[in-house]
Amino acid sequence: LYTAPDSCEGRCGEPFSEEDECHCHTECEKHHNCCEDHERHCGPEGFSSSRDSITDQELLELSEQLYGVDHNKARPGDIAINPQHRAGPDETGDKQDLSPQPLYKYVNEELFSKPTYASFIKLLDNYLRATGREEEVTAEELREQERFLEEVMKTELMKKLFAFLRGKNRYGSEQEFVQDLKEMWFGLYSRGDGEQDSSGFEHVFSGEVKKGKVSGFHNWIRFYLLEKQGVVNYFSHNFDGPWDTYPDVLGLQFSWDGFYKEVGSAFIGSSPEFEFGLYSLCFLARPGRACHLSLGGHRLSVQTYPWTKATYGGGRRFIATAYVMSP
């Protein structure tokens, strides 16, 4: 379904990693393992010079900075969760509800009136969850996308992310950045037989059902709202992150109207702009690979994959998925 990227765009001079299917470091020509477009991007005349590559250390530092300016995240008293049963590796596929109580005991819904939350929540009902069914995007839904992007770009977190990416020559203006975010996240592509039935935003934040299984669905707000309605049933968790404040990370099992998610993961208590910004950063810096970050002194990784069967804007890739990895 997904393949790792085979391009040096934005990767020139990055350190060697065995995870990569082709390489863009200075020694790759000697080892005959460069990506095909290495010369075009990284040669003397190339336009992805090594100074514009994003180092592992910069990702660690920037993620800590973004974590520090997530002013809209939940405070410790805003959410109370009840994780109950911790599933072992041999239990996650059992489809057994091992936790009789809901995951969320309490959420301070005043959070949802903050502009980024309110505009995010409006987007969640814009999708048909079954893949293979064409998405019809109304004028109102387009306005809701614009509104969400407007609101997140007002935050210090997204302004800091943009400043970093502009410094790396990824974008020349905020307008260009916002337009690219709109395409990579909201642009439609086909997970089925040619129908424009999916987008990165739908998959990651709203969730889809494909071949009888839950696909994507990595957002705590979406989970809470559907659990409250009685259509999501929490089964167990297989990972609980080391954070004693929010955002935390949970690996979890659940069913959605009877469709099962064997191993899901989600930030708990993060603002919409935090997840949106962090996933965007990792998709731009490490598409198709583990993106190693640090939050509050604790390491974690985000995995993203590009959609490889369709492109926009001169060969750019849509987001296929993005999620926080639970060990």
Same domain, 290 and 210: yes
Which domain, by its residues, includes 224? Answer: 56-325
With a cut of 90, say whether residue 123 has pLDDT above it. yes
- First CA to last CA distance, the chain: 22
Q: What is the pLDDT of residue 138?
A: 95
Q: Which of 199, 79, 189 shows the shortest CA–CA distance to 129? A: 199
Length of the chain: 327
Residue 228 lies in a domain: yes
Q: What is the pLDDT of residue 46?
A: 53
- The total of other beta-carbon atoms located within 10 Å of residue 75's CB is 11
What global pTM score does this model have?
0.87
pLDDT class of 5 with cuts at 50, 70, 90: low
Residue 236 lies in a domain: yes
With a cut of 80, say whether residue 51 has pLDDT above it. no
pLDDT class of 49 with cuts at 50, 70, 90: low
With a cut of 60, say whether residue 136 has pLDDT above it. yes
Same domain, 73 and 220: yes
Mean pLDDT of the chain: 92
With a cut of 70, say whether residue 322 has pLDDT above it. yes
Q: What is the pLDDT of residue 118?
A: 98
Residues labelled as active-site residues:
203, 218, 261
Same domain, 176 and 262: yes
Q: What is the pLDDT of residue 265?
A: 96
Please name the amino acid found at residue 290.
A
More confident of the two residues 25 and 150: 150
Residue 49 lies in a domain: no
Residue 68 lies in a domain: yes
Same domain, 102 and 235: yes
pLDDT class of 25 with cuts at 50, 70, 90: confident
The region of weakest confidence among 47-56, 214-223, 278-287 is 47-56
Same domain, 7 and 138: no
Here the tokens at position 11 are 């990767």
Place of tokens 């899901």: 264
Q: What is the pLDDT of residue 313?
A: 85
Same domain, 313 and 221: yes
Residue 146 lies in a domain: yes
Same domain, 7 and 111: no
Here the tokens at position 186 are 């909201």
Q: What is the pLDDT of residue 280?
A: 98
Same domain, 38 and 60: no
Residue 7 lies in a domain: yes
Residue 50 lies in a domain: no
**CATH code for the domain of 19:** 4.10.410.20
- CB–CB of 53/13 below 8 Å? yes
Burial of 190 (0-12, 13-18, 19+ CB in 10 A): middle
As for how many domains the chain has, the answer is 2
Same domain, 22 and 130: no
Same domain, 190 and 68: yes
Local structure of 68: helix, strand or coil: helix
Same domain, 200 and 298: yes
Same domain, 152 and 14: no
Residue 48 lies in a domain: no
With a cut of 70, say whether residue 31 has pLDDT above it. yes
